[in-house]
Chain A
Amino acid sequence: METAEKTLDEILTLAANHFKVPREKLSPDADFFKALGIDSLQTLDLLTRLENHFHVELPDYELQGVNDFRTLAAKIQARL
């Protein structure tokens, strides 16, 4: 079982690598839409990458209103 901190770290690394944003510029409490500069299609892309990486299902309605990496990590952690 992954710890919450490890989950958060993996999310930040995955997002930084895929959207080509320096890892150090992404903070756990940052608004990921703004930090990554992503639109609706890229949000879906991120969701799919996270599901594939963690082998979980994330119903998109559960993520409604979620916009920071820390809360996103908690949602994923709850399904690991």
Chain B
Amino acid sequence: MNHFSGDALSWELKSGVIELALHRPPCNEIGSVALGELEKFVGSLDDLEHQASVLIIHSQLQCGFSAGADLRELYERSQAMEKSAAIRGVRDFLERIHHVLNRIDESPLTTIAAVHGVVFGGGFELALACDLMIADKMVRFCFPELRLGLIPGFGGIPRLKRDLGNAVVRDLLLTGRSFNATKAQQIGLVSQVVAEGESLRAARATSVQLAKFDRHTAATAKKFIKPVPHDELRQEIDLFCELFTRPAVEAGLKKFVESTDAQPYLP
């Protein structure tokens, strides 16, 4: 399927570049709808990869790339069922999103996350599955999961550990603070910082360069330098599900969902 238009995302293959656009208000929260469409996308990747050299993931919403997992849906669904069923549901969701992100991570295409605005939690984890991150100067990254009594669950810690120094990972995770493009470039997270509103244009310009290279060679280089940390990713799912059983999580989710605070992402 060379193009698709859904409720949460759309994609189109044009001139050897796949552009996957996120566009589900309020800010591309990743819940069951987005997950279903991401699964549809990775289901089409085998075919798309024969026709493309680059994948660009970006957002069409002004608020940013993605605010992360759909916490409202998670809270409401877990409230509507027995605890054991809720935990099974969470594990199933995590298995599915890990399958999607692992597939994007190990795609032979060169993948670019063109990010702006909010890149939080699960949105940050989606960007981390890509090979290159190009950010506009108004971007804001954050792993706020500890405020909910959780750790990132979409592969964030293993992928961050793969890409950055452990001290930086500890700072970002254990403080839960958000940080800007300058900091992201200093720590080696983003490869290019561009003017406000220019990340997609810069990603397209980069894709022209990437398309000049032999695909097999580029895919071989990628496979050599970017192994998927499968063992740690499995551990992450187990740890997340273990933490999800604790009362602090329900309290944290409730507080977030019911908050009218201008800074609800703060603990």
Contacts and interface: CB of A to CB of B under 8 A. Distances in A.
Given A44-B118, A45-B138, A48-B140, A61 B63 contact: no
A29 interface: no
Interface in B211-263: 261-263
Contact of B262 (A39, A48, A59): A39
Interface stretch (A2-10, A20-28, A49-57, A71-79): A49-57
A49 B138 contact: yes
From DSSP, what is the main secondary structure of chain B's interface residues? loop
A57 B179 contact: yes
Contacts of A38: 262
A49 B117 CA distance: 11
B266 A43 contact: no
B177 A59 contact: yes
A48 to B, nearest CB: 5
A41 interface: yes
Contacts of A47: 140, 178
Interface in B136-153: 137-140
B261 A40 contact: yes
B3 interface: no
A63 B178 CA distance: 12
Nearest to A45: B138
Interface residues on B, range: 20 to 34
Contacts of B267: 61
Interface string B60-103: 00011000000000000000000000000000000000000000
Contacts of B139: 48
Contact of A51 (B118, B175, B176, B180): B180
B27 A40 contact: no
B262 A33 contact: yes
Nearest to A64: B266
B182 A40 contact: no
Contacts of B180: 48, 51-52, 57
